[in-house]
Amino acid sequence: MIKKLFLIILTFSIFTFPNEVFAAASTDPDFKVAFIGDSSAGNNFQNVLNLIKSENAQLVLHQGDFDYSSGPQLWMDKINNTLGPNFPYIGSDGNHDNWDTDGFAAFFKDRLAKMGINSPVSLPSSYSLVYKGLKIVFSQENGDPSFISSQLSGDTHTWKICSWHKNMASMQVGGKGDEQGWPDYETCRQLGAIIATGHEHSYQRTKTLTNTLTQTVDPICPNPNSLCVSPGRTFVFVSGLGGNSIRVQQRCLPTTFPYGCRQEWAKIYTSDQGATYGALFIIFNYQGNPNKAHAYFKNITGAIIDEFDILATSGTPPPITPSTTPSTGGKPGDANNDNIVDGIDYVVWLLNYNKNTTQGPKEGDFDRNGIVDGLDYVTWRNNFGR
């Protein structure tokens, strides 16, 4: 009976969910995007393009360093011959790229036009677009936080991507230094955008972070393979195995999970882990859930190296240092005890759904019956916005 009631309420709630949670527009269903960087234009890149084609990606976001002087035309020819001259393919300016003089700006401008997107006569290296419901902001080399902020503030898209080439030393596990600047990272985190980078020639991905500068893992969304993205929290990845080279892990040793540093890394794939070239694929609006995405990194031998889910929500970020004891008072439905029953409390409930717990409201068990279930959802729903 309770299960039936829950299903009825859940179905009803899909259509009546509070605006603060579901007002956002998601992408086309099962919209698959490939993320690569640092490719050059040789056989390794060709193999990565073949992989992208075989995975049926619908868009490529290249995080910079395209041809490495092997010839921009050769690089473009490989894309045209493999994916087609009209395939949606756009990218970030890298330190090895001559954005204007080598024709990359014109190449991407042409692709944007074929995607139905108008762009300035001369495409700058900071630009933004919406394609198939995905908001994408490219930031120029060494950072452009004011541009990012202008493009993402007030944006209502469920899924937002920040893309640039370079890193901060703590946001990669190789030998790169502080180059892009923290304001880019923190602006994107605050505005709830996934952060896609390249530059270091390996693959690595963080857990959900509530602060990139301090590499603070979200205490209420700590699962390395179930990430949360909302204003105030996101994750960062480096996808730099596009074909040019493969490097070793220098930071955050050891080379096996849970790794070192602050345990902020969910997956590291370098020469030390036997890496070869590949791409990260993210499928947005996954299997009928507009707020869910599924992601995997696949290498050119067909091996899936990393696989994880992402849940996008709105609402305010969770407190960085929550109470270590279950809340005993507070409002019904207020999981994080911030005195507001909002989307973040729903996420807490969702992440713990069907779980036995003694933590009470802190883990979404609002009626304290020891299990996070549909009745707790009803409690949250009835108190939302209070």
Partner 1 sequence: MVVIIVLIIQSNTAPPKPSSDAASKKIHTLADGYPLLPIYPGAKIDKSQKKSEQGLIGYLSRMTSNDKVSTVMKWYRQNLTAAGWAEITPPEFPDTDKSLFAQFQKDKMNMNLEVSQEETPETEILISFPLQAP
Binding site for partner 1 (CB under 8 A): 40-44, 68-70, 95-96, 175, 201, 244-248, 250, 253-256, 270-272, 274
For partner 1, the closer of residues 70 and 223 by Cβ is 70
**Cα–Cα dist 218/124, whole Å:** 34
In whole angstroms, the minimum distance from the beta carbon of 114 to partner 1 comes to 29
**Cα–Cα dist 343/381, whole Å:** 10
Residue closest to 113 by CA, chosen among 163, 105, 66: 105
In whole angstroms, the minimum distance from the beta carbon of 271 to partner 1 comes to 4
Beta strand residue intervals within the chain, DSSP E: 31-36, 59-62, 89-91, 127-131, 134-138, 160-163, 194-197, 203-206, 209-211, 216-217, 226-229, 236-239, 265-269, 278-286, 289-299, 304-312
In whole angstroms, the minimum distance from the beta carbon of 68 to partner 1 comes to 5
In whole angstroms, the minimum distance from the beta carbon of 66 to partner 1 comes to 11
46: CB partners within 8 A, 6+ apart? 78, 82, 243
**Cα–Cα dist 189/207, whole Å:** 13
For partner 1, the closer of residues 47 and 149 by Cβ is 47
For partner 1, the closer of residues 225 and 245 by Cβ is 245
**Helix and strand tally (H, E) in the chain?**
9, 16
**Cα–Cα dist 226/214, whole Å:** 21
For partner 1, the closer of residues 73 and 250 by Cβ is 250
For partner 1, the closer of residues 44 and 170 by Cβ is 44
For partner 1, the closer of residues 71 and 84 by Cβ is 71
In whole angstroms, the minimum distance from the beta carbon of 59 to partner 1 comes to 26
For partner 1, the closer of residues 7 and 253 by Cβ is 253
**Cα–Cα dist 115/80, whole Å:** 15
Residue closest to 265 by CA, chosen among 202, 318, 327: 202
In whole angstroms, the minimum distance from the beta carbon of 377 to partner 1 comes to 45
In whole angstroms, the minimum distance from the beta carbon of 336 to partner 1 comes to 38
